[in-house]
Structure 1
Amino acid sequence: MKILVTGGAGFIGSHTVDALVENGHEVRVLDNLQKPVHQTGMPSWLNPEAEFMLGDVRSKDDWKKALQGREAVYHLAAYQDYLPDFSTFFHVNSVGTALMYETAVETGLDLAKIVVASSQFVAGEGQYLCDSCARKTSPVLRPESQLVEGKWEHACPICGEEMYWQWTPETHVSPPNAYAMAKHSQEIQALTFGQRYGIPSTAMRYSIVQGPRQSFYNAYSGACRIFSLHYYFDKAPTCYEDGEQCRDFVNIHDVVRANVMALDNPEMDYKVFNVGGGKAYTVSEFAAIVQREFEDRKNKYLADALIPGKYRFGDTRNACSDISALKALGWEPQNTPEQSVREYVDWLYEQDNVEDILDFANKTMKDLNVVRDVKA
């Protein structure tokens, strides 16, 4: 099959390209190599058997060229950042998706499938249960007035007792910021335009994806990157809040298997699927996994992660996705966070431009005033 992969030079995109090429598909990549994700330009890992096209999903002309002769699309290109440039989130993510469907419909392109990348962040804080009230609720993001006091947990709006997170299904939607709203818009477009114009479409709502090729320079890209960079330089990383917030980590190879499965499975048409790891870990637990990996490699003790009472404004307290819908179709995660970390660190040690990256990452977070201190 002739397939277009947008964002195909990126983390999830490049691994998906590799799998599609290995399966015998003819793959074209559309990517704008935007900084800071592609800080050094064309990545070395881009599959040489894939056709590369430099272009932008905000350009209809680029869509026309990229879609020409294609039979399926993986729309994985996305913009994510901590910058408050709200319009860019919508221009790239929402409008880019609209232009894809618009171009396909206008040109009468007969597409067998469109797979659209979404995010766990669409669910926001997810669902919680109050044991005292036996009541489920969906809290909003915690206000800064709460965080600055070092009060991390969600309280029941009825009785005031602490609530406990639940595995969040695809039916739950509560986007807390511009990025999440734009990703939800992509889901709506995929299902609505897909059904309206007879283009089988699936939205994949990824949890926190881990593995090699995660950009060093993307401040948004998560725990494995920042913890690994600290331990690489024998420095203790920081866990925000109290380190007890729960996350759902999924290996890149499991994500790729889900992506490939969506290509020719009609049971996935016109639906949204959570793609997660199926097991919750606290951030402190994940930091310890990274720590052990580096201790084994360096054959020495490394300092535990610091918990100094800092927080990132806008973070969800817990984020764990219910993956039962995808498991019912025969998919399930096969890799552990330990394997994800090992693969990432193997890749990290192969890179030759690591020296300035940690300072770059820390400066970015400081300049954006994302990391803040609890009131003394």
Structure 2
Amino acid sequence: MSICFAPSEAYEGSPDSVKRRMSSLFGDVAELIIKARYCEEKGGCQEFLNPGTLQTDFFDVSMGFHRCDHLLAYLHMHNPFLTSDVRAQCLARKEPGDPHFPVPDVITTEPGRREFYEIKPDSTDGLTKAVKKAQWFEDDVCVPNGLVYSRGTVFSGAVDVVVWNGTWFGVPVKVRFATDMPRNGIVVYKLCLDRALGELLEKLLIKAVVAALIYILLAVAPVAIPAFAAVLASTAEPPLRRSVGSGGTNSKPDVAYVQLILNDWRGQNDVSPLLDVDGLVGPKTIGAITLFQQRVTRIVDGRFDPRGPGISALESFHFESLTSRAIATPSMEQHALEQEEEAPLLEILAESGQDYLASIYRTAGTLAG
């Protein structure tokens, strides 16, 4: 049984800026995964990276901020008769507010194989945008300039790989990255869970996997970048509003949040049973807080306070576990983001971290009724 989502579906209720930017960044992740499969099927790629080289395979994800320049250079190298300024056409076609340029995601120029592919999320909007972009390349670039490229058919478009494997709030689950090719040259992708968790937890997991894969595949210099937990935990407002546990305020939403995230720690450390996420404080919840403090913080009072060492350590454990459970094979090479993109990446990860913690809080409150 598989439950599948386009990544953007996990961001319903999130700020538009977070949804738009994280969906866009995950598009780069998707292209890296599909690129690995594409080259594997070809028996190896000769990747075009710099103007003046003779490589046959163009990948949009490798082009950084200079996509239009490199598209022109690649096409001119393989079609020296080209005189039109494709770069200008490309720049003119870029839509305001959209970080992407209308450049095909994959182009191959070989004897008997002159084709291109467009990659988008498996959604109605994603398919519409893919078709629109492919049409632009055919009608505005290829036909007027006498370029012979067609929508690809050689690549199977079939990718199905496990990208996350772990325990999610106490429940073992795997997440797969899967693709389909509904039309020639159009590859669509989605993230699929191998078991039902309930829609709220399913979308929360998809959101977590999106962030984890963006971090491990798009971070330029992992050693120089703060730990994922620190990035995501650098929130303006803590999700825990009031104290929970022995002598705490124990509001229902706060208790439910603590119970849910404690289940993540308990599940990954083989501590049973899991707590009922009911928002009610009793001996089991206080005992679970005390056990965590005994094993982790060594500051034991049976209570979590907002921004206190206990809840901070618990949230950090949760965030660290996200990346430790994410899977990137050697063929999914890290994307060399340009320097201009590095700071925005950290900024959006921090913003998405605040949104993610708030999503856990809302989900816990809903589960508790």
**TM-score, normalised via structure 2 length:** 0.31
> Which structure shows the higher helix fraction?
2
